[in-house]
Amino acid sequence: MQRYFIEIMYDGTNYHGWQVQPNSITVQEQLEKAISTVLNKKIGIMGAGRTDTGVHAKQFFAHFDYDSNLLDGNIVFRLNSFLPEDICVKSICEVKADAHCRFDAISRTYEYIIYNSKNPFLVDNAYFLHKKLDIEEMNKAANCLFDFIDFTSFSKLHTQTKTNNCTIKKAVWEQKGDTLIFTIQADRFLRNMVRAIVGTLINVGLGKISIDDFINIIKSKDRAQAGTSVPAHALYLTQVCYPKTIWL
């Protein structure tokens, strides 16, 4: 039995996130259906993590096992021909038999995109916020994230995670043309974490809370103290990184 990593990208608008769930259309369901059709065998796949309803992925990995070589044909083309237009397979590669796309990931990177002047091409893919934001103060607050590992204040309540500890490696706001992009990288993320952090940092940028308030929100470990989660349609998983040791 050989293990394969499959790299995909998708627009999450029409899906209730990645993970299969009853009575909802998900990305995992569509991908499993396509792989099972192409290989003429029921195939289950494991994803690198969850993305919530409406969240997009520019890079996402899943793994599955198969009993023969898949790399000597046009498997990527065939899979894409069975997938809807908003899901795309980028590559498939064989990895070590014990490689795990979720547990072996060493970092994940997300981007959140905001725009503040009317743009019909961004309506469905970025968050429109017409109010002026203090980007310098937002970056000062974002830098405070590096001083903490427990992000309970930004986690969805009543999840089944064993720990709310994460190591944040990057957190920065950058103005790029008409858009303001927040990039955050960590070893792992909690449910709803990025959207809650962005919502709270926006409150800093609007002058509703100070940097000290932001720090105290993190220390409180109380989701009710943090800001409102921003809309999902402007959030993108952009990169998942793995150690070199898993690849063949």
| pLDDT 10s digits, 198-216 | 999 999 999 999 999 999 9
Asked, for residue 247, whether it belongs to a domain, the answer is no
The C-alpha torsion from 116 through 120 and 123 to 124, rounded to 10°, is -150
* Same domain? 77 vs 121: no
* Same domain? 112 vs 235: yes
Of 71, 45, 104, the residue nearest 244 (C-alpha) = 104
Catalytic residue among 11, 52, 86, 222: 52
* Same domain? 99 vs 116: no
Query: What sign has the CA pseudo-torsion 62, 66, 69, 73?
Result: negative
Asked, for residue 244, whether it belongs to a domain, the answer is no
pLDDT for 159: 67
CATH number assigned to the domain comprising residue 9: 3.30.70.580
Which domain range does residue 29 map to? 2-103
The residue from 62, 82, 103 where one domain ends is 103
Of 48, 59, 51, the residue nearest 233 (C-alpha) = 51
pLDDT for 90: 97
Asked, for residue 223, whether it belongs to a domain, the answer is yes
Catalytic, 52? Answer yes
pLDDT, tens only, 131-173: 999 999 999 999 999 999 999 999 987 666 789 999 999 999 9
The residue from 80, 103, 126 where one domain ends is 103
* Same domain? 69 vs 141: no
Indicate if the pLDDT at residue 56 is higher than 80.
yes
In the chain, the number of structural domains is 2
CATH number assigned to the domain comprising residue 200: 3.30.70.660
The residue from 103, 122, 143 where one domain ends is 103
Q: Dihedrals φ, ψ of 23, to 5°?
A: 60, 25
Indicate if the pLDDT at residue 23 is higher than 70.
yes
* Same domain? 92 vs 117: no
Indicate if the pLDDT at residue 57 is higher than 90.
yes
